[in-house]
Structure 1
Amino acid sequence: METASLTSDDWLELALAELKDYGYVALKAQPLAKKLNVTRGSFYHHFESLENFHAAVISHWSDRSSGQIIQTAQTANDCHKALDELLQKVLNSGEELERAVRSWSTVQASVAEAVHRVDQERIKVAETLLIDGGVSKSAAAVRAKLLYWAAIGRLMLPFPANNRLSQDEISDFATLMFQDQ
């Protein structure tokens, strides 16, 4: 890859791949520059500091992992179908990168704060779908949190790929979330 054509997105894509494969310890300017076959100066051309880069990595992770899913859910005409589709995606994807980001958040406060903001945004989307589907605000708040906690909990199991529900089971679960108390 030539330095002239290198973009900040190139750095961020590599960072997510390295984070997923090797953890947060791989997110350093020099090793990443070497993998991109450029100097460390290229890193600082795109990012003011390592802290700035880390913030950009988390933002990029959020956009890639949930940005489109959230946008689709927020613009859906059918909240029941939207929650089902949201749960289908969330309960059947993202193990490696999500686990790596959450591991990183246990050792770096700025990452923990950023992950917390993403978590709250994701929970709010589910809560809004439930409210739009007729669930009371108080019940929707609790159900959205439990849905999210269950999804994250599955990801943190030793073998999350072995702990999946079928599409029909997820659809039944989504339907259950709209039932009266």
Structure 2
Amino acid sequence: MAPVTRQAYFGAALDLLAEHGFSELTVGALCRALGVTSGSFYHHFGGWPGFVAQLLDHWENRQVLILKERNFGTGGPSADFAALMDLTLGLPHEAEAAIRAWARNDETVRAAQNRVDDARVRTVGKAVEGIVGDRALARTLTSLGMALLVGHQQLASAGQHGELTELLREYTRLVHSRAG
């Protein structure tokens, strides 16, 4: 059997979060999902707190890495906004809804959730402001975009999959209709 990587643990954790929620994310569930012993888990992470810290770090940095791969920041506000909308489509929405629920119950997870939300607001806000040319309007439109994302994730985690592509298309039209 080939050794299981940290990345495999993170992928399995996001899958478990999406399918069962944070209360079912355990060492045992991870090991069963990956077909490994708990010794493998402890070898990689030392314990549950180490795993949680690394999982949250992985989740936080995922967006940054994807944007870097897409040359974010080099094509102007409209190109950046389009890249952000594309990134949004590919987020693990059910897992993110579970992380948000977990954040209500765990201070460490809450801090990570806040950092992710703050980074998203800053990144989207900068692109939106570049398009609309007005900081106050950009804040409002960015808040609307965050509400759309979080609302979609909560509905999707409850089994109500709305058409995110169409929602983002309308959001994009709204932002561009306010171009300055």
What is residue 67 of structure 1 aligned with on the other side? 64
Q: Secondary structure at the match of 2:161?
A: helix
Task: Say whether the 8 Å CA contact 2:94–2:154 is kept in structure 1.
Answer: no
| TM-fit CA distance, 1:85 | 3.8
TM-score relative to the length of structure 1: 0.80
**TM-score normalised to structure 2 length:** 0.80
| Candidates 118, 128, 131, aligned match of 1:130 | 128
State the 1:170 CA deviation.
4.1
- The 2-side partners of 1:59 and 1:35 are apart by 21
Unmatched 5+ stretches in structure 2:
none
Q: Counterpart in 2 of 1:179?
A: 179
Moved more, 86-95 or 120-129: 86-95
Identical aligned pairs, as a percentage? 24
How far is 1:15 from its partner? Answer: 1.2
Q: Distance in 2 between matches of 1:155 and 1:25?
A: 18
**Number of paired residues?**
176
After superposition, the CA RMSD in angstroms is 2.6
Kindly tell me: are residues 37 and 170 of structure 1, through their superposed partners in 2, closer, same or farther at Cα, counting changes over 3 Å? same
- For residue 49 of structure 2, the aligned residue among 44, 48, 51 is 51
Q: 1:87/1:31 Cα in 2 relative to 1: closer, same or farther (>3 Å)?
A: closer
Gaps of 5+ in 1: none
Question: 2:122 and 2:55 mapped to 1: Cα distance?
Answer: 22
- Report if the CA contact (8 A) 1:79-1:132 is conserved: yes
Instruction: Give the aligned partner of residue 169 of structure 1.
Output: 170
